[in-house]
Amino acid sequence: MKQQHKIVVVGLGYIGLPTASMLATKGHQVLGVDVNPKAVDTINQGKIHIVEPDLDILVKSAVHSDNLKASLTPEAADVFILAVPTPFKHNDDASKTPDISYIEAATEAICPVLEEGNLVILESTSPVGTTERIRDIIADKRSDLQKIYVAHCPERVLPGHILRELVDNDRIVGGVDTASAEKARDLYKSFCNGEIVLTDSRTAELAKLVENSYRDVNIAFANELSLVTDKLGINVWELIRLANRHPRVDILSPGPGVGGHCIAVDPWFVISSAPELTPLIRTAREVNDSKPEWVIRKVIAKAERFKKPVIGCLGLAFKANIDDLRESPALDITRKLIASGVGEVKACEPNVHGDFNEFPLYELTEVLRDADILLLLVDHDEFKLIDKEFLKEKVLIDTRGIWR
């Protein structure tokens, strides 16, 4: 019989909550900790505060089995998993310096309840050296403890498919020493079917950053192609489809930019560690960061033919069929179109409910009825099903290629 543990998961967001729920359904006693009282209350009712397919079923099952509880404060446990944000220090910081203060705060919060032989795992995507920083904070705060195991196991799941990929994807586990890596591997074996590969913590940290930097460079190539094809009057999606028929070519799809807390962020962590050695990664980031402004210019040019156009912005999330707005180019574009005063902006985001109050959201039927210009920003399933009859009289700007 597999050993069951008392586990504290700090951070109940898009990674922490699915991980905590998965561990709970495997028989571990899990306490989820978050600074948001509303999230804590929601989870303790067996409900969820984020959108992810089937997560509501998993959380309900875990809570009703008494294996999952949520709290504002940590308790003594065998294992502590940190899944807190790692943003930039300042939104307007051109150097995009990583901010690990949430990780440091989470580490300090668990220090009073740590016990000899505990395992601390960092899941948050982090700049190189962060796991060692956790080790050093614990050593400073709890010098009475002889041995605390510390490891990094970066998440590498796709929103919308998190529960399946938590189980099936291979995992990298990097320890500050071999014993820490092995101890973390044993925990992940309790729910992971994928291969678990051991390394040191610094290599594990950089591996996650490299995975997303690779994808960012590929997307930048596609986005740059979309600019060229627009100038030449060529359909970029047809071009990429034809080019990808080559057996060694795999170009990704262009879009209005790159969002989410991975691909839009992680390359800057690599750049910050060696700015003089990463011109390619920086250029790719700059190409993708500039794409929203190009989209806005396209809309403004189309709006000139109207006296006061209604602009329907379809989608605010950073990718299809989720509610995650982090680093979303669609949200950035919509904000800037509203601020520009180029017309009346009506935004539709079918996956966001309740807590969003930055600007009004409209039902899809109303946007389709009223809009002179339809700007497709996210390829949600609802938008793919729109009857083409509704589009005939509209000016269409499709940044995702679903209406071609």
The residues facing 71 across adjacent strands are 33
pLDDT tens-digit map of 369-379:
999 999 999 99
Sign (positive or negative) of CA dihedral 246, 247, 253, 254: negative
Question: With bands split at pLDDT 50, 70 and 90, how would you rate the model's confidence at 159?
Answer: confident
In the annotation, is 346 catalytic?
Answer: no
Mean pLDDT of 320-324: 91
Mean pLDDT of 166-177: 97
What is the average pLDDT value for the chain, to the nearest integer?
95
Phi, psi of 314 (to 5 degrees): -100, 105
pLDDT tens-digit map of 233-267:
999 999 999 999 999 999 999 999 999 888 999 99
Catalytic residue, from 208, 291, 319, 346: name it. Answer: 208
Instruction: Say if residue 93's pLDDT is above 70.
Output: no
In the annotation, is 208 catalytic?
Answer: yes
- CA 318 from centre of chain: 8
The angle at the Cα of 167, spanning 67 to 211, to the nearest 5 degrees, equals 125
3-state helix, strand, coil in the chain (%, to 5): 45, 15, 45
65 CB burial (10 A radius; 0-12, 13-18, 19+): exposed
DSSP for 366-393 reads: HHHHH-SEEEE-S--HHHHT--GGGGTT
Catalytic residue, from 262, 291, 313, 346: name it. Answer: 262
Q: What residues does each domain of the chain span?
A: 6-194, 210-398
Instruction: Say if residue 91's pLDDT is above 80.
Output: no
Shared fold status for 6-194 and 210-398: yes
- What is the pLDDT, as a whole number, of residue 172? 98
Mean pLDDT of 253-282: 94
User: Structurally, what CATH architecture does the domain formed by 6-194 represent?
Assistant: 3-Layer(aba) Sandwich (3.40)
- What is the pLDDT, as a whole number, of residue 92? 56
pLDDT tens-digit map of 140-157:
999 999 999 999 999 989
pLDDT tens-digit map of 7-45:
999 999 999 999 999 999 999 999 999 999 999 999 999
Q: What's the pTM?
A: 0.90
CA distances from 153 to 121, 200, 276, 297 (A): 7, 10, 28, 41
The Cα–Cα gap between 11 and 17 comes to 7
Instruction: Say if residue 188's pLDDT is above 60.
Output: yes
From the candidate CATH numbers 3.40.50.2300, 3.30.43.10, 3.40.50.970, 3.40.50.720, the one assigned to the domain spanning 210-398: 3.40.50.720
